[in-house]
Structure 1
Amino acid sequence: MINLEWLRTFNSIYECKNITEASKKLNMTQPGVSKHLSALENHIGKKLFERTTRTLAPTEYGKFLYSQINNPLRELEKVEYYSGQRAKKQRSAITIGCTTDFFKKELMHKIYSFDMYIVTLFGNEKELIEALDADKVQLLIGIKKHFMYDHEFTFLKNEELVLISSNDIEIPKDLEHNEKNLIKWLQKQTWFSFDNEQNDIKKFWKARFGASSKIVPRYILPSYIDIIESIKHNQGFSIVPKYLCEKELKNNTIRLPFKKSTPINQKRFYSYKLKNSNSKEINLFREKMKITNTNNV
């Protein structure tokens, strides 16, 4: 699981272009800054900077990572500032576990109005479930029910899943009424998946063809937003929540390759420990989410 402070440190190094200036900006020691950077590089398995005698030059992956985290970090800084301005008030505090997609689309522009202290932990479903059981988060927002731990699940929303493709891909017309050949053709295409389990693709395949999927995704990206962005600029297919790509569909930067398809849905849940000391904070957060969702309808 990526530590948010590692990302903050990386962001400062990128903007300052060296360790010394970044350490001053962060009010940290230079060894501390270097330790954060090394931990982040080891975690993601990518080199983020090329070291020179005086400056650090970002690698291509470093540039990509900066473009992905810069705006979310600035939004989090606004949240921290907003909370700090009203720190004298007594207010509830809670740590939320969710994906970066949910934070960007559902939380980022809402939580400023929540009169709470909110810490957000990002990760995949497996990591967040373990974090919930270890009391690192009090409330998890996810799509999977599980029976490994003693957790309670309450319904949050339904999400429609859709098959998307890049604009330059056309399904051959002679395959529209030849399901066997259509399946073979689809299996040869480039696929993007949210995770190795491919639950989204499996749901689509079962609904569309009534069979098990034999797709082997070429790219696994644990962010639907990143998948959508990739398909805008590269050939490929994926299954994503429709609400995340409505803007791109409207702007015709991606497309729905099938004119008609069987609706596929997934449920999103809140989950929390059955025995916990944060019921008040959990209920308050859920109520705030309910109010903002109602106001946005």
Structure 2
Amino acid sequence: MINLEWLRTFSSIYECKNITEASKKLNMTQPGVSKHLAALENHIGKKLFERTTRKLTPTEYGRFYYSQIKSPLQELEKVEYYSNQRVKKQRHAITIGCTTDIFRKELKYVIYSFDMYIVTCFGNEKELVEALENDKIQLLVGIKKHSKYDHEFTFFKNEELIIICSNDIEIPEDLKKDEKQLIKWLQKQTWFTFDNEQDDIKKFWETRFNTTPKIIPRYVLPSYVDIIESIKHSQGFSVVPKHLIEEELKHSTIKIPFEISMSIDHKRFYSYKLKNSNSKEINMFREQMEITNVNNVSVKRNSQKNQNSFAKPNQT
């Protein structure tokens, strides 16, 4: 069987026209190069070079042989190069879980720049927590803290909760001055909620009215974006993260029925199992998210500065 290294040596000698230069190119000793050439000539039974004191001149068969192996040898070298590159640059792989809201608003336009293989699983929070516990997912992104399993939580972001309603709903004026009557009226309205636990509504209610809501939601949807879209086209109330309704408020497709004096913050977390074999991938994903968020904040600040500078009138 012919040795690929013999062919590489022959090709280098042919192109360099002498043993010395070929040995430098191949990072080999001169006796090693001569040995490869002799082995190849012995294998094919043909003389490939005429030897002179200064250089090697290819024989007629040597020129023919070089023309036959040049292209295949180059293709083999390409395959070898890219194979080595893939070995040198091994991408880490991770399976993450999140709600469709988190993916749309936080991940959709950033994770494609991560130098990782990423599999994304969607579901409601209960399904995602179960998937993490059963090792179907290595990392949850933007999850609420729970106590069902011994999972680790690290801070992801803060969300401000706000009450919203359909544009055509008007709160009677007399109820705005009577909190007890307002509460009764609100509890009779059609409500959309993120899950049966009603965590967002409860948190809002306790902060605004210092009591527990007595609400039976008409519709339970596993996506805030879907809740907002539903309220735009029907009558109802909900409590949602404020950052998700910026465009709707701008275009007046929904409204905030009343303001409250204090903000209601809701923390979201990364979540993963304390004992796992993917700590490196988890940390890498989180670091990439942090870098991306810092860059995004910087871009927004620079954009705001530019807008402000253009808005300033010329002073004379």
Fold similarity call, TM over 0.5? yes
Contact 2:140 2:272 in 1 (8 A): yes
Q: For the structure 1 residues 261 and 221, does the alpha-carbon distance in structure 2 shift closer, same or farther, using more than 3 Å as the test?
A: farther
Q: How many angstroms does 1:221 deviate by?
A: 0.6
Q: Deviations over 1:87-120 (max 9, x none)?
A: 8842111000110110111111111111110001
Q: TM-score, normalised by structure 1?
A: 0.69
Which secondary structure state, in structure 1, belongs to the residue aligned with residue 161 of structure 2?
strand
* Residue in structure 2 matched with residue 152 of structure 1 by the alignment: 152
Amino acid in the other structure paired with 2:138: Q
Partner SS state of residue 271, structure 1: strand
2:233 alignment counterpart: 233
* In 2, Cα distance between equivalents of 1:87 and 1:111: 21
CA contact (8 A) 2:142 2:156 kept: no
Deviations 1:41-83 (A, max 9, x none): xxxxxxxxxxxxxxxxxxxxxxxxxxxxxxxxxxxxxxxxxxx
> What letter is aligned with 1:221?
L
Counterpart for residue 97 of structure 1: 97
Q: Distance in 2 between matches of 1:170 and 1:231?
A: 14
Distance 1:147-1:188 versus aligned 2 partners, 3 A rule:
closer
2:155 is paired with a residue whose SS is: strand
Contact persistence 2:145–2:268 (CA under 8 A): no
Deviation, structure 1 residue 218: 0.6
Q: Tell me the residue number matched to 2:255.
A: 255
Deviations 1:12-34 (A, max 9, x none): xxxxxxxxxxxxxxxxxxxxxxx
Offset of residue 295 of structure 1: 1.4
| 1:174 aligned partner | 174
2:121 alignment partner, SS class: strand
CA distance in 1, matches of 2:175, 2:262: 18
Give the deviation of 1:150 after TM superposition.
2.5
Is the alpha carbon distance of 1:199 and 1:147 closer, same or farther for their aligned partners in structure 2, counting shifts above 3 Å? Answer: closer
Q: Per-residue deviation at 1:261?
A: 4.3
Which of structures 1 and 2 has the bigger CA Rg? 2
- Contact persistence 1:143–1:266 (CA under 8 A): no
Determine if the alignment matches structure 1 residue 209 to structure 2 residue 209.
yes
Closer, same or farther in 2 for the Cα pair 1:104/1:87, shift >3 Å?
Answer: farther
- Decide whether the 8 Å contact of 2:142 with 2:157 is kept in 1: no
Count of residues in Structure 1 that have an aligned counterpart in Structure 2: 212
Q: Is the alpha carbon distance of 1:225 and 1:148 closer, same or farther for their aligned partners in structure 2, counting shifts above 3 Å?
A: same
**Residue 146 of structure 1: how far off its partner (Å):** 2.7
Structure 2 unmatched runs, 5+: 1-84, 298-316
**Structure 1 residue 262 displacement after superposition:** 3.2
> How far has the Cα of 1:123 moved from its partner?
1.1
Distance 1:206 1:221 in 2: 22
C-alpha displacement of 1:216: 1.1
One-letter code of the match for 2:292? T
Aligned residue type for 2:223: S
Partner AA of 1:281 in structure 2 = E
TM-score by length of 2: 0.65
Give secondary structure in 1 for the equivalent of 2:159.
strand
Q: For residues 190-205 of structure 1, what are the structure 2 equivalents within 5 Å?
A: 190-205=190-205
Contact 1:152 1:274 in 2 (8 A): yes
Aligned CA-pair RMSD:
1.5
Deviations 1:164-220 (A, max 9, x none): 111111111111110111111111211100011111111111111111100111111
Aligned mates of 2:245, 2:113 — CA distance in 1: 26
CA distance in 2, matches of 1:150, 1:184: 39
Give every structure 1 segment of 4 or more consecutive aligned residues whose post-TM-superposition deviation is greater than 3 Å: 86-89, 259-262
Tell me, in whole angstroms, the C-alpha distance in 1 between the residues paired with 2:291 and 2:267: 20
Distance, in Å, in 2 between the alignment partners of 1:228 and 1:295 is 29
Residue matched to 2:136: 136
